C-alpha cells in the first residue's frame, strides 16, 4: 500500500490528501484504556468534490452509497475494534476501499434467451406422457 494514495482498483486511487481522519474515544469494554485514549477513527471522504473519480463513477457512487453520505456529501467510515489508533486508521481505509470497490461493480445485463429445440421437444414429450398416464387412470366402460 502506498502512503500517498489509497488504492481502490487498478484504475482508481484516492489521494490521502482527500481523506479526513478524526480520532475520538471508543465506547464499550476496555477499562481505563478506553477512557483515556482516543483510538476510535472516523474516516471522511468528500465524494462530491473528489478529483480522483470520473463523473460517471461519481454518479454511480452517489447512488450506491447514498445511505452512507452525510448532508455535505462525505462518505463516513468508522473503525473502533482495535486498541491502536493506527490499526483502526488502516482498517477504516480498507473498509472505504472495499465500499467503493463494491459500489463501482456494474452488474452484467441480462440477455433474454429462448429454450432450444431439444428442450421444447422434451417438454412436449413429457406433457404427452403425463396426459397418457392420466388417460390410463380413467374408468373404462368394459361392456
Q: What SS3 class is residue 91?
A: helix
29: in domain: yes
111: in domain: no
pTM, 2 dp: 0.68
Q: How many domains does the chain have?
A: 1
Domain residues for the domain of 22 are 5-104
* pLDDT top residue among 33 and 130: 130
129: in domain: no
User: How much is the mean pLDDT over the chain?
Assistant: 85
> Nearest-CA neighbor of 18 among 84, 100, 81?
100
State yes or no: pLDDT of 38 exceeds 60. Answer: yes
User: Can you give the CATH number for the domain in which 66 is found?
Assistant: 3.30.160.20
Please give the pLDDT value at position 36: 66
Please give the pLDDT value at position 41: 86
122: in domain: no
Q: How far apart are CA 99 and CA 25, in angstroms?
A: 24
**Confidence tier at 127 by pLDDT (50, 70, 90):** very high
State yes or no: pLDDT of 28 exceeds 70. Answer: no
11: in domain: yes
140: in domain: no
Please give the pLDDT value at position 1: 47
121: in domain: no
- pLDDT tens per residue, range 42-66: 889 888 888 888 889 889 988 988 8
Please give the pLDDT value at position 121: 96
Please give the pLDDT value at position 39: 79
Residues 6+ apart with CB under 8 A from 95: 43, 77, 79
Amino acid at each position: 500500500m502506498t502512503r500517498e494514495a489509497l488504492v481502490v482498483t487498478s484504475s482508481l486511487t484516492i489521494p490521502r490528501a482527500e481523506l479526513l481522519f478524526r480520532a475520538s474515544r471508543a465506547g464499550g469494554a476496555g477499562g481505563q484504556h478506553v477512557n483515556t485514549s482516543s483510538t476510535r477513527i472516523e474516516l471522511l471522504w468528500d465524494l462530491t468534490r473528489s478529483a480522483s473519480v470520473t463523473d460517471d463513477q461519481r454518479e454511480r457512487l452517489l447512488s450506491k452509497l447514498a445511505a452512507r453520505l452525510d448532508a455535505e456529501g462525505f462518505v463516513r467510515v468508522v473503525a473502533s475494534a482495535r486498541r491502536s489508533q493506527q490499526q483502526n486508521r488502516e482498517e477504516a481505509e480498507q473498509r472505504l476501499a472495499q465500499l467503493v470497490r463494491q459500489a463501482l461493480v456494474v452488474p452484467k445485463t441480462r440477455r433474454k434467451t429462448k429454450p432450444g429445440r431439444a428442450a421444447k421437444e422434451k417438454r412436449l414429450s413429457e406433457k404427452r406422457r403425463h396426459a397418457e398416464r392420466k388417460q390410463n387412470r380413467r374408468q373404462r366402460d368394459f361392456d
